[in-house]
């Protein structure tokens, strides 16, 4: 099986999704902020919306892989099971007594049930504690609302925890504490699942912070990397080194974005919808700048700039110019639709993308520009602040960036 991605828009072959499940049911008004959700999603409806998203992809010939299936299959591999279990048990919050109870609990679960615990976490009351099986001081003093193992509701956004560049996978280094454990799962899947045996890695979770939502494969050999709330300049520099060393790209455009929730990743303000067209949030489109990083003769990344992002991108991509489709006609609509992930489209092929139906203006702008939009419902899915691009990690796209 060859997994290969060298652009944002070439025909999509295979994608990794995570169907939201019990981990979303862990969200409460007490914890939703720290778990990076802006509301409490209705889980059943979120699942319906997600199923419709997956169905839309399949109807266009895309193979959909589910993270929970891959994880359960991975956990059937004994080394993967023991490694992931050890990682969870290593949490310094547990203490030895509680750690032993959790270890007993996990030992009896079949791979699918264990995958459930690794994604949905373990609540205080879900652990069987009694006279014969005391929970110890940590269990006794734990707030009833605390988790013994934290849930990972942001697994929904598969874009961020791994990114394929060429035939290599980058397992990223997530910045927010609520998301860090996600990459223990993606890392294990890519190392142990039979489908991925032999895959080479271009990034590891122990490296400087880098999230997939910040990485755009503008064209074969050209990457854009947003630096802001999630990806640090050090992460961008590290990716540049790794990518140059592996010969996966010749140019990396490093794009500073505001360190705010509304612009947490580059893909919240800019996504590609054609080989030479980007969808961009107009309130910042003209202000975005880029530093161009190329491999120097000595292997050291060489930095140039800043220059306006659109200019730098067109130059790196060898285009006269990049077409810009802006998301909204008036600033208020633009701001509302940017917040609701209007800019966060997933291209299935050049001029064909998936977007949230609620972003009426944005989608109309796209259609006017000759881009077909498959509109999906996202009232519940969007409560985690992520759109179709955030919710998908492409594993296979047609090589060479796709036909013009």
Q: Which residue has the tokens 């259609």?
A: 367
Using a 10 angstrom Cβ sphere, with 0-12 exposed, 13-18 middle and 19 or more buried, the burial of residue 266 is buried
- Smallest separation (angstroms) from ligand ARG to the CB of 344: 6
Handedness of CA 202, 208, 210, 216 (dihedral sign): negative
CB-nearer residue toward ligand ARG: 75 or 391: 391
Query: Is 392 a binder of ligand ARG (CB under 6 A)?
Result: no
Annotation says 393 is catalytic: no
Distance of CA 9 to the CA centre of its chain: 17
Q: Are 11 and 399 in contact (CB under 8 A)?
A: no
Considering only 53, 118, 157, 203, the residue that binds ligand ARG (CB under 6 A) is 157
- Smallest separation (angstroms) from ligand ARG to the CB of 250: 25
Q: Quote the CA–CA distance of 69 and 167 in Å, as a whole number.
A: 22
Q: Which of 270, 353, 390, 393 is catalytic?
A: 390
Q: Please name which of 242, 201, 200, 247 lies closest in space to residue 225, comparing C-alpha atoms.
A: 242
- Smallest separation (angstroms) from ligand ARG to the CB of 389: 6
Instruction: Tokens for 55, please give them.
Output: 């169905």
Considering only 182, 267, 276, 337, the residue that binds ligand ARG (CB under 6 A) is 267
Q: Are 160 and 265 in contact (CB under 8 A)?
A: yes
Using a 10 angstrom Cβ sphere, with 0-12 exposed, 13-18 middle and 19 or more buried, the burial of residue 171 is buried
Three-state SS sequence of 275-286: CCEEEECHHHHC
Candidates 21-29, 122-130, 189-197, 261-269: pick the segment binding ligand ARG (CB under 6 A).
261-269
- Smallest separation (angstroms) from ligand ARG to the CB of 264: 6
Residues 17-76 that bind ligand ARG (CB under 6 A): 36
DSSP output for 104-118: HHHHT--HHHHHHHH
Query: Is 342 a binder of ligand ARG (CB under 6 A)?
Result: no
Query: Is 390 a binder of ligand ARG (CB under 6 A)?
Result: yes
The two most distant CA atoms of the chain are separated, in Å, by 74
Query: Is 235 a binder of ligand ARG (CB under 6 A)?
Result: no
CB-nearer residue toward ligand ARG: 37 or 192: 37
Query: Is 193 a binder of ligand ARG (CB under 6 A)?
Result: no
Residue nearest to ligand ARG according to CB distances in the complex = 213
Considering only 213, 256, 350, 355, the residue that binds ligand ARG (CB under 6 A) is 213
Considering only 14, 32, 154, 392, the residue that binds ligand ARG (CB under 6 A) is 154
Integer angstrom CA distances of residue 195 from 3, 83, 112, 155, 300: 10, 19, 18, 20, 35
Query: Is 255 a binder of ligand ARG (CB under 6 A)?
Result: no
Considering only 160, 182, 326, 398, the residue that binds ligand ARG (CB under 6 A) is 160
Query: Is 99 a binder of ligand ARG (CB under 6 A)?
Result: no
Candidates 65-73, 152-160, 357-365, 372-380: pick the segment binding ligand ARG (CB under 6 A).
152-160
Query: Is 14 a binder of ligand ARG (CB under 6 A)?
Result: no
CB-nearer residue toward ligand ARG: 50 or 385: 385
Q: Quote the CA–CA distance of 215 and 368 in Å, as a whole number.
A: 27
Torsion of CA 390, 386, 204, 10, to 10 degrees: 10
Q: Quote the CA–CA distance of 334 and 25 in Å, as a whole number.
A: 31
Considering only 384, 388, 401, 402, the residue that binds ligand ARG (CB under 6 A) is 384
Question: Rounded to 5 degrees, what angle do the CA atoms 153, 386, 188 make?
Answer: 50
Q: Which residue has the tokens 């032999």?
A: 198
Which residues, listed in sequence order, are joined to residue 290 by a DSSP beta bridge? 307
Considering only 81, 191, 193, 385, the residue that binds ligand ARG (CB under 6 A) is 385
CB-nearer residue toward ligand ARG: 18 or 101: 18
Q: Which residues bind ligand ARG (CB under 6 A)?
A: 36, 154, 157, 159-160, 176, 179, 213, 264-265, 267-268, 384-386, 390
Name the residues annotated as catalytic: 390
């Amino acid at each position: 099986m060859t997994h290969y991605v060298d652009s944002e828009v070439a025909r999509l072959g295979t994608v990794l999704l995570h169907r939201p499940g019990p981990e979303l049911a862990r969200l409460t008004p007490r914890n939703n902020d720290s778990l990076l959700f802006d509301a409490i999603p209705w889980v059943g409806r979120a699942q319906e919306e997600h199923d419709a998203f997956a169905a839309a992809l399949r109807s266009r010939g895309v193979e959909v892989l589910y993270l929970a299936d891959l994880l359960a299959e991975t956990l059937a591999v004994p080394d993967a099971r023991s490694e992931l279990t050890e990682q969870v048990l290593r949490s310094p919050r547990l203490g030895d007594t509680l750690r032993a109870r959790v270890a007993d609990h996990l030992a009896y679960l079949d791979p699918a049930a264990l995958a459930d615990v690794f994604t949905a976490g373990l609540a205080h009351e879900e652990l069987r504690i009694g006279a014969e099986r005391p929970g110890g001081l940590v269990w006794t003093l734990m707030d009833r609302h605390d988790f013994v193992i934290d849930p990972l509701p942001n697994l929904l956004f598969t874009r961020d925890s791994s990114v394929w560049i060429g035939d290599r996978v980058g397992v990223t280094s997530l910045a927010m504490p609520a998301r860090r454990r996600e990459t223990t799962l993606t890392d294990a899947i890519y190392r142990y699942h039979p489908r991925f045996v032999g895959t080479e890695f271009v990034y590891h979770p122990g490296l400087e912070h880098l999230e997939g939502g910040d990485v755009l494969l503008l064209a074969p050999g050209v990457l854009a990397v947003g630096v802001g709330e999630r990806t640090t300049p050090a992460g961008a520099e590290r990716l540049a080194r790794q990518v140059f060393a592996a010969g996966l790209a010749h140019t990396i455009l490093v794009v500073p974005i505001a360190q705010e929730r509304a612009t947490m990743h580059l893909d919240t303000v800019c996504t590609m919808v054609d080989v030479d067209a980007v969808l961009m949030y107009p309130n910042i489109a003209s202000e975005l700048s880029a530093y161009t990083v190329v491999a120097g003769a000595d292997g050291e990344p060489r930095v140039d700039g800043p220059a306006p992002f659109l200019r730098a991108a067109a130059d790196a991509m060898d285009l006269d110019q990049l077409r810009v489709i802006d998301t909204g006609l008036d600033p208020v609509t633009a701001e509302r639709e940017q917040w609701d992930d209007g800019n966060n489209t997933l291209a299935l092929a050049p001029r064909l993308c998936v977007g949230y139906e609620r972003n009426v203006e944005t989608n109309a702008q796209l259609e006017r520009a000759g881009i077909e939009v498959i509109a999906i419902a996202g009232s519940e899915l969007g409560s985690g602040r992520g759109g179709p691009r955030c919710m998908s990690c492409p594993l296979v796209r047609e090589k060479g960036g796709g036909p013009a």
